A and B are shown apart, each in its own frame.
Chain A
Amino acid sequence: MSRNAKINTLLLLLVAALAVLPLALGLGEGKEEPFTGADAQAETAIAELKPDYEPWFSPLYEPPSGDIESALFALQAALGAGVLAYYFGIRKGRRQGAAAAGAPGAVAPDASAQS
């Protein structure tokens, strides 16, 4: 593995560790509902601060269940990940194409097009 790939893997491992550690260390223990979303906690806090507050508008569309909501969140992440993968795929293809064309010190086509 190249030095670059090692650093990239290390970055991903660090992010994974940051996400898993709170779960592994049981930091949600002793809470009524461990690991609820901060957004939902804020709604609870508002109810405590101003018990008579009533939301004056409701969402036009609400996912009918938690599972559908998860599916839509997954869709959002998948759309984003798909576009990112497309971007990096195209860039890699261009570089490889330029390299295959045999230009010494191959340069991405867009860079040469500008010169």
Chain B
Amino acid sequence: MHIAEGFLPPLHAVAWGAASAPFVLHGVRALTREVKANPESTLLLGAAGAFTFVLSALKIPSVTGSCSHPTGTGLGAILFRPPVMAVLGTITLLFQALLLAHGGLTTLGANVFSMAVAGPWAGYAVYRLLRGTRAPLMVAVFFGAFFADLVTYCVTSVQLALAFPDQATGFTGSLVKFGEIFALTQIPLAVSEGLLTVLVVRLLMQSSKSDLIRLGVAKLTSGKANQEATVR
């Protein structure tokens, strides 16, 4: 989903930058507030950022005969709400733009919007919706991460179709073209990301249940959790 350096016309680049900036600024405030209010969150915040670092570095083959990478933003959005991911995702994209020539500074705004804003919010919305219907936690986590990943690539397709409409078929024709490249390739990868996010949340349930309870992800239901509750 990394639109390469210089590959968005200046007007589009500026517009996406302007669209992303408030989310990132709001995210910085949300992040500092979280760290101040709950210093013990810092370590888990680092782990959520690290998850994005790992997953967005892994290019995985897909059924379309091309390859692409997951985003890893669903986990942090579920744990800490999406604003925090606007910051962690931006850091990841900056690292890749500056060191790997992957993505770019002129396309940073557009890439931040797809990976660090739209994806996390879409994933979080699906997660909350499923939690609202009393779906099991892991089902909600899976689909939250799945949609955070897939929506990111759909947004990239829209961004490119807006900038490069097809001569004959216009925006729609171009959207189909970019959708085939990005969204179709991404479906099995989004499944992988969903499974990996479920794995990490399972490990967190074993190692850091008190954090998950404080963040509202896990509830005090099992016997072990009740013990913790009495201590509190």
Contacts and interface: CB of A to CB of B under 8 A. Distances in A.
Interface of A: 4, 7-8, 11-12, 14-15, 18-23, 27-31, 34-39, 41-43, 45-46, 49-50, 53, 55-63, 69, 72-74, 76-77, 79-84, 87-88, 90-92, 95, 105, 107-108, 110-112, 114-115
B61 interface: yes
A41 B53 contact: no
A56 to B, nearest CB: 5
A11 B199 contact: yes
Contacts of A35: 61, 65-67
B173 to A, nearest CB: 9
Interface residues of B, number: 78
A27 B100 CA distance: 28
A104 to B, nearest CB: 9
Contact of A37 (B59, B174, B186, B206): B59
Contacts of A82: 50
Contacts of B105: 57, 60
Interface string B25-64: 0000000000000001001101101111111111111111
A22 B98 contact: no
B97 to A, nearest CB: 7
A35 to B, nearest CB: 5
Given A77-B54, A115-B232, A8 B10 contact: no
Given A87-B47, A110-B210, A18 B57 contact: no
Given A38-B182, A46-B7, A57-B6, 20 more contacts: A14-B192, A18-B60, A22-B61, A28-B61, A35-B61, A38-B153, A42-B156, A42-B160, A45-B181, A49-B165, A57-B104, A57-B105, A57-B106, A72-B100, A79-B53, A81-B50, A88-B207, A91-B207, A107-B231, A115-B232
B221 interface: no
